Amino acid sequence: MKGVILDANSLGDVNLEPIITCLDHFQVYQSSNQDQIETRIADADIILTNKTELGRKEFAYSPRLKLISVMATGTNNIDLLAAEELNIQVSNAVAYATPSVVQHTINLMLCLSTHLIDYIHDTRQGLWQTSNSFCRLDHSIVELSGKKLGVIGYGELGKNVAKVAEAFGMEILIAQDTTVTRDTSMAHLLAKVDYLSLHCPLNDKTTMMINKTTLSQMKPTAFLINTARGGLVNSNDLVHALEQGIIAGAAIDVLSAEPANESEPLIQASHLKNLLITPHNAWGAIESRNRLVKQTRENIDAFLAGKILRRVTPS
């Protein structure tokens, strides 16, 4: 059997040896554009991909295709209906990046709360060295303890972020996607939280759920954190809210189009001191990526043994 990895560079420097040794032949490509896919998957029985889009058109190029193992949890880049019709099995990876994403989410909350980036920058510019006091308190510092954290999307990631936040002494308010479970309405939740962290999937209900209306319902001292999907947030509305002081700040790890481009409103506004942007690397701890490789190998081994592990089907 033959396998192909279409976008290995999205995994960074992780060791792929456990994957590529499980078949007689495994071709590894660092990246693949849509024009290259036809020739690259023509003889493949198994395709591994992180973000490369595969649909009915691509499946026609690969008559031998039996398994797609997505090297991620999200499978919105795969036409699951077409795969099911063509008897192509689809697997993914689950919960492999939880510690990494939780750590990154809390880190972003702390950076917003303490102006950590500003203080580091100021020290590099020599402000502390020329100070007439032993410390500098140029930027506001607030504690997480006693604050309210709103978590939208109370699955694997949302639950674990809440668990860590509780250790900081935060009060947790929960919404599962857009359905609030510990408050009377979304507007009520938004009005109460000091921090709002997004961990829900991107779908018809949640697209642009953070917009001019919902941002206006938040406190002017509140912070937004998004490590889920860029499409959950209306970028133009968020930039306006940050510029006008409608909310105090935001930390964003994901954008609607990735990699980022200069036309993205949040990139254009990245000079704002109350906006932090990281390059979709919340999941990227080496331990996380090693677990991803391990799960992918398990998916392939199970398939070769006549079983399907971590099966993904159309919802």
- Angstrom distance (rounded) from CA 292 to CA 313: 20
pLDDT of residue 160: 98
pLDDT in tens, 32-60: 999 999 999 999 999 999 999 999 999 99
In a domain, 209, yes or no: yes
Question: What residues are annotated to the active site?
Answer: 229, 258, 280
Does 193 have pLDDT greater than 90? yes
Q: What is the pLDDT of residues 268-304, one digit of tens each?
A: 999 999 999 999 999 999 999 999 999 999 999 999 9
pTM summary value: 0.92
Query: Identity (one letter) of the amino acid at 232?
Result: L
pLDDT of 177 higher than 80: no
Residue-level pLDDT at 264: 98
pLDDT band per the 50, 70, 90 thresholds, residue 204: confident
Q: Can you spell out the DSSP letters for 236-286?
A: HHHHHHHHHTSSSEEEES--SSSS--TTSHHHHTTT-TTEEE--S-TT--H
Inter-residue contact 231 to 237 (CB < 8 Å): no
Higher pLDDT: 77 or 182? It is 77
Pinpoint the alpha helices (H) of the chain. 17-20, 34-41, 56-60, 80-85, 98-114, 116-124, 156-167, 186-192, 212-216, 235-244, 265-268, 286-304
**What mean pLDDT comes out for the span 232-241?**
98
What are the CA-CA distances from residue 285 to residues 6, 11, 75, 186 (Å)?
A: 21, 10, 21, 33
**What is the spatial distance between Cα 94 and Cα 170, in angstroms, rounded to a whole number?**
27
Establish if 311 belongs to a structural domain: no
pLDDT tens by residue, 99-135: 999 999 999 999 999 999 999 999 999 999 999 999 9
- The total number of structural domains in the chain stands at 2
Judgement on whether residues 76 and 171 belong to the same structural domain of the protein: no
**CATH assignment at residue 194:** 3.40.50.720
Burial of 138 (0-12, 13-18, 19+ CB in 10 A): exposed
107 and 248 housed in the same domain: yes
Residues 114 and 232 in one domain: yes
Mean pLDDT of the chain: 95
Domain holding 27, by residue range, is 2-95+286-304
Comparing 204 with 85, the larger pLDDT belongs to: 85
Cα(169)–Cα(99) distance, rounded to whole angstroms? 19
Q: What is the pLDDT of residue 175?
A: 87
